[in-house]
Structure 1
Amino acid sequence: MRKSLACAAAVFAACALTTTPTHAATLPTAGTGWKLAAQLGVTSASPSQTYTVTYQSDAVRRWYAPQIQRAVDQINASTDLNIAIGGVETMDPNACGPAFHIQVLELKNPMGDEHPGWSQGMPCPNPTQGMSRGGIVAMNSTYRSGEWNIAPETLQNTAVHEVLHAVGLDHPNVDVDKDGTTEPYECVATSYGNRPIMCSPNGGYSTWSNVGRLTGYDISGLNALISNARAQGIE
């Protein structure tokens, strides 16, 4: 239900893939179980600014704020990244909102009707010094309408996954089996078999005691964003 970071016109028409900025050449952008959205120019995140998650409507907020609450609490407690759950604001799906806002809206099949049930999250591309300024999350409206049957644990992991895209993480899929092809679900996993929540198309925990939480791999990716900022003198 997720796809590699790409520019979906319905989500963000102004997005244009460019060559990875030269500043990224000296910064780590991938590691075991994590990858940064360096192809969109995002290599760091602010350790001092608060990234606020806002919503298209009160109904969308009531539906999705609880889905990401556990992850937000975990991130704020275990990393130097600061995320807050905010309120409702006007949104344009074709443009980034205010700086350090992660805007959550609903669209029906934002990746196109050929990909029913998929959602899309992405950071604002090519920010100054590669520092994430937030982004856009287009959750598939068919989840809330009931047109698409999505398991509760998958819904929660998906919501977190897309928000983390907007912060600056990409899919960490790699050719684990060395067959020459990087495939869906092909990611490193813990000794218990848990893939990163950023794994495509589905990752994260499936048990209710941990669903919606980040794995250590995902935390390492967020820590890399903060470390890269500090390496550049960004606060």
Structure 2
Amino acid sequence: MRTTLVGAAAVALSACALTAAPTQAATITTSGTGWKLVTQLGVTSISPSRQYTITFATAAMKTRYTPLLAPAVAQMKAAGVKIAIGGVETVNPSKCGPVGHIQITEIYRPLGRAGFSQGMPCPNPAKGVGVGGIVAIDSEYWTGYPIELYKLRNTLVHEPLHALGLDHPNALDKDGKSIDYKCVATSSGNTPIMCSPNGGYKMATNMGKLTGYDLNGLKALLANARAQGIK
């Protein structure tokens, strides 16, 4: 099972507007040990004060995903992200929803390959401050696709983190292409949940949770906003 962040050309999401105070020149950090931001889609920050809300295309999806996302959402909140699990709303995978919404839907093979899911932020937001995004989970996971539980749990968190602005932190080859599985790891062998494919914790007690590397990426998104004077 593999996860991926698709390029802007693969799904033409419409950018959402952002109103921000005038800013001074600021230093923006876009990568660090075990984390990287989705700068290719123009996202470098998330607002410390904006409410980000995870919503779902159906009531059944809300019921299914809420308990699986809750531990990671609690970690995000503790890191300073103002985020909550919300309700049900119409999701158009080709268009951004309301500002601040991370919309989750299910699509059969959203990338045309078995086992691949997709998450991406609304591209090119004003000032680079993320305004939410779209997550399309491969519906096969729930109809018998052979995926290990830890991979499933980690994938369900991995994709919304793309929508917030985190990219794969994989090492690159000489041509600048991401090398599968090639990510920094803890002394226990745990790679960032954003590592592609199948990063994150494997043990039942921690699967679906962010590693310290991923949390540092979220904190960088918040710090970049503050550096620009964005509240």
TM-score, scaled relative to structure 1 = 0.89
Does 1:47 find its partner at 2:48? yes
Tell me the distance in 2 between the aligned counterparts of 1:211 and 1:230: 31
Residue type of the alignment partner of 2:126: T
2:92 matched residue in structure 1? 92
Instruction: Give the superposed CA RMSD.
Output: 2.2
Residue type of the alignment partner of 2:199: G
Tell me the distance in 1 between the aligned counterparts of 2:176 and 2:227: 34
2:120 matched residue in structure 1? 122
1:134 matched residue in structure 2? 132
User: RCO (CA 8 Å, sep 6+): is it higher in 1 or 2?
Assistant: 2
1:198 matched residue in structure 2? 194
Does 1:6 find its partner at 2:7? yes
Does 1:211 find its partner at 2:168? no
Q: CA 1:70/1:8 → structure 2, altered by over 3 Å: closer, same or farther?
A: farther
Q: Is the 8 A contact 1:24 1:43 kept in 2?
A: no
Q: CA deviation at 1:180?
A: 8.5
**Structure 1: gaps spanning 5 or more residues:** 17-22
The ranges of structure 1 where at least 4 consecutive aligned residues each deviate by more than 2 angstroms after the TM superposition are 12-16, 23-26, 178-182
TM-score, scaled relative to structure 2 = 0.90
Tell me the distance in 2 between the aligned counterparts of 1:188 and 1:131: 27
The size of the alignment, in residue pairs, is: 222
Q: Is the 8 A contact 1:7 1:15 kept in 2?
A: no
Deviations 1:4-50 (A, max 9, x none): 442364xx33469xxxxxx9994110111000001100000010112
1:31 matched residue in structure 2? 32
Q: Is the 8 A contact 2:8 2:123 kept in 1?
A: no
- Percent identity, aligned pairs only, is 56
Tell me the distance in 2 between the aligned counterparts of 1:209 and 1:118: 24
Does 1:150 find its partner at 2:151? no
2:164 matched residue in structure 1? 167
Does 1:104 find its partner at 2:101? no
Tell me the distance in 2 between the aligned counterparts of 1:173 and 1:161: 14
**Structure 2: gaps spanning 5 or more residues:** 16-23
Q: Is the 8 A contact 2:14 2:96 kept in 1?
A: no
